[in-house]
Amino acid sequence: MLRPFVDDDGAPYFEYAAKGELRMQTCARCGEVLFPPRPMCPHCQSTEFEWKRMSGRGHIWSFAVPRPPLLPDYAAVAPYPVVVVELEEDRRLRLVGNLVAGADAEINSVDPATIEIGQPVRVVFRELEGLAVAAWTPDE
Amino acid sequence: MNPTPLKDRAAIVGIGQTEFAKHLEPSEKALACRAIAMALDDAGIAAREVDAFAAYTMEATDEVEVAKAVGAGDVTFFSRVGFGGGGSCATIGHLAMAIATGQAEVGVAWRSRKRGSGPRPWTDTVNQLPTPAQWTRPFGLLRPVDEIAVLARRHMYEYGLTREHLGNVAIACRNRANANPAAIMHERKLTMEDYLSARMISDPLCLFDNCLETDGALAVVMVSAERARDCKQQPVYVHAFGQGLPAQHHGMVNYWNDDPLAGPSWTAAKQLWKYSDFRPEDVDVAQIYDAFTPLIPLSLEGYGFCGKGEGGAFTEDGALELGGRLPINTSGGGLSEAYVHGFNLINEGVRQLRGTSSNQVAGASTCLVTAGEAVPTSAVLLRRD
Ligand SMILES: [Zn+2]
C-alpha cells in the first residue's frame, strides 16, 4: 500500500491521528478550518495555526469502487470502496478514506452494494504502512 | 486600445499528425519532429521561419531539441503549460497571444506522446504522491479514473446523471471513429448493450468510460491573420481563448470547495465568452476533452451549453451525434480516435472549419475546442471567414 506523504503542513494531522484524534488545521487568527493543510491561511494570510478537534462524525458525500488494473497491493483486495466524507462541522471539509467494518478490518470489509450517499459514518483509526490514518465506519 | 486584442488576430494555417497506434517504433522526439514537419508542409511555410513554440510541461522533448531538429530559426517566444491535458488549448492560446502582440510571427504547438507503449503515469508512486494526492491515493483512489468516478457518482446522486448518459458520450465518439480511418477504433462498433455490459474499472465507470492509450504526435502552425490570408490553407482563426484555475481549486481531487461539480471549465468559459462575438448556441461543432466520459456533461455545463446539472440530459436524443444539437468529438476524440492529451481535438477542430473532416458538419463555421475538465484547463473558440 502507499504510505501517506507527511509534509511540513500536514505533519500535525498524523501526530494527532496516532493519538486517536481527528484534528484539522485551523487558522489561529480568523478561525477558518483548512483542508488540505497549507502554509498560509487563504482567508487572512496568517501563518499561525491551531489544530482543532473534530467530532469524527460525518456523511458520505460520494464514493468509488476501484477494480483492476491497480497497484498490486490494492488489486489484491479489489473491489474495495473509497469514500469521500463530509464532516459534520463543515460540509466543505471532505476527507477521502476507506470505509471499513471496524478499525481492524480490511478495506474491502464493507459490501459496496450497501453504501449510500448521505449515510452517516464515524471515524476510526487504523494503521497504513506504519502510519495512523483516519478511516470510516457506518454509524447508527 | 483595442478592447479585444486577441480576437481573430492569429490563425492556424497548418496541421500535422503521425499515425496513431498502441505502439509506434520512433521515439517521442522523432514523432514530434515528424508531426511538426508535416504541419509546416501543410502550411507551406519553411521551418527556418518558425520563431515560437508552445507545449505541455509533460512533453518529454524540449524546445532546444525540437528547434534544432526541425530547423527553426531564431526563436523569440517559447512557453509551457502545466496540468497534463488541461494545457492542450492553452498552447494555442499562448501562441495566439505571442503573435497578436508581435512577440513572434510563426508559431508551432505540438504534443508527442507514447502513452500506448509507455508507463501509466499513476504507477509512478514517488512523483505522483505529494499534495493533494497524499490525501487520496493511499486509500486506493489511485488513478484519474477513480478520482473522476467519485464526481460522476455525486452527479448521479445530485442531478440524475445515468450510465446511459455516459454511454451516449462513448457511443457518439465511437460512431465518429467508425467513419475516421485514422482512428484507433475505426473498425470497432460500440452499442449501448456493449457499453452497459462492459467490465467496471471504477464503479460507476466502466471500460468504455475511459480514453484509449495511444502512441502518436500532432502539431499546428500559426501565423497572424494578415499573413494567413496568403497561405495555402483556409485560415482558421483563434477567435477567443480562456484558461481556468478557479479559486480554491484542488486538481483532479477537487473535493474541498463549495461545489466540486463546478470545475475549471466554468472559469475558462467565463474568460472565453467574455470577448467572443458568439454564444454557446452559435457553436456549430465542439471537440470536448474526453479522457473520461463524465468530463463531457461537466464541460457542457461549464461552457454554458446547458444549465447546471443538465449535462447528462443534454446527451439524450442523439444530441451529440452528427445532425444533433451539438455534434462532438467528430474524429472520435480521446475515447475512440487517439488519446494524445487532447491535441487531436485541436487538429479535428481545424479540419471541421476547413470542411475536410471525415465526419463533416455541413457549413461549420465555429468550433469550440476544450482541454481537460477537472484540472486547471483551457479552451479556444475557432472560426473561419
Ligand atoms: Zn485566517
A75 in helix, strand or coil?
A: helix
Nearest Cα of chain B lies from the Cα of A63 at a distance, in angstroms, of 5
Q: What is the pLDDT of residue A8?
A: 92
Q: Which domain holds residue A34?
A: 11-138
Distance in Å, alpha carbon of B107 to nearest chain A alpha carbon: 38
Q: Which residue of B has its CA nearest to A34?
A: B256
Identify which of B312, B263, B149, B249 has the alpha carbon closest to the alpha carbon of residue A83: B149
Is residue B255 within a helix (H) or strand (E), and if so which, with residue range? none
Confidence of residue A80 (pLDDT cuts 50, 70, 90): very high
Cα separation of B78 and B110, whole Å?
A: 12
User: Could you tell me which of B122, B83, B113, B77 has the C-alpha nearest to residue B95?
Assistant: B77
Closest of B150, B144, B213, B142 to residue A71, by C-alpha? B142
Give the gap in angstroms from C-alpha A27 to the nearest C-alpha of chain B. 16
Q: How many Å lie between the centroid of ligand 1 and the Cα of residue A30? A: 4
The cell for A10 is: 500536514
Q: What are the pLDDT digits (tens) for A26-75? A: 999 999 999 999 999 999 999 999 999 999 999 999 999 999 999 999 99
Ligand 1 geometric centre to CA of A32 (Å): 6
> Is the CB of residue B279 less than 8 Å away from at least one CB of chain A?
no
Domain assignment of residue A4, yes or no: no
b (16+ CB within 10 A) / e for B230-240: ebebbbbbbbb
The alpha carbons of chain B give a radius of gyration, in whole angstroms, of: 19
The answer to whether B164 and B212 are in contact (CB under 8 A) is no
What are the residues facing B244 on neighbouring strands?
A: B377
CB A45 within 8 Å of CB A29: no
Interface test with B, best of A8, A40, A62, A117 (most B CBs within 10 A): A62
Q: CA B27 to CA B56: how far, in whole Å?
A: 17
The three cell numbers of residue B233 are 490553407
CB-closest option in B132, B141, B157 to A82? B141
pLDDT at B131: 67
For residue A15, the tally of other CB atoms under 10 A from its CB is: 14
The answer to the question of residue A5 being in a domain is no
Q: Mean pLDDT of all residues in chain A?
A: 96
Which residues of B fall within a CB distance of 8 Å from A64?
141, 146, 149-150, 153, 202-205
| pLDDT block averages, 10 residues each, chain B of length 385 | 84 98 96 98 98 96 96 98 95 98 98 91 71 88 96 98 98 98 98 98 98 97 97 97 94 87 97 97 98 98 98 98 98 98 98 98 98 96 97
Within 10 angstroms of residue B262's Cβ, the number of other Cβ atoms is 16
Minimum-distance CB partner of B203 among A64, A74, A95: A64
| Peptide bond preceding A79 in cis form (omega within 30 of 0) | yes
Number of CB pairs, chain A paired with chain B, less than 8 A apart:
114
Rounded distance, CA B313 to CA B125, Å? 38
Taking the CA of residue A118 and the nearest CA in chain B, the distance in Å comes to 10
Q: Which of B136, B153, B256 sits opposite A63 (nearest CB)?
A: B153
- Please state the length of chain A: 140
pLDDT attached to residue B119: 83
Cross-strand pairs, B216 = B113
| 3-state SS, one letter per residue, for B350-368 | HHHHHCCCCCCCCCCCEEE
Report every protein residue that has its C-beta within 5 angstroms of ion ligand 1: A 27, 29-30, 41, 43-44, 46
Q: What is the CATH number of domain B10-118+212-383?
A: 3.40.47.10
Q: What residue ranges in chain B does DSSP mark as E strands?
A: 10-17, 52-56, 77-81, 107-114, 200-203, 205-206, 215-224, 236-244, 285-287, 366-370, 377-383
pTM of the predicted model over 0.90: yes
Cis peptide before B26 (omega within 30 of 0): no
Distance of alpha carbon B250 from alpha carbon A9, whole angstroms: 16
- The predicted complex's ipTM stands at 0.97
Sorted by where each begins, the domain ranges of chain B are 10-118+212-383
Closest-CA distance of chain A to residue B209, Å: 14
When divided into structural domains, chain A yields a total of: 1
CB contact under 8 A, B138 and A95: no
B201 in contact with A at a CB cutoff of 8 Å?
A: yes
Active site residues of B: 289, 339
Whole-number Å distance, alpha carbon A120 to ligand 1 midpoint, is 30
Q: By the CB < 8 Å criterion, does B142 face chain A?
A: yes
Among A5, A66, A94, beta carbon nearest to B130: A5
CB contact (8 A) between residue B200 and residue A7: no
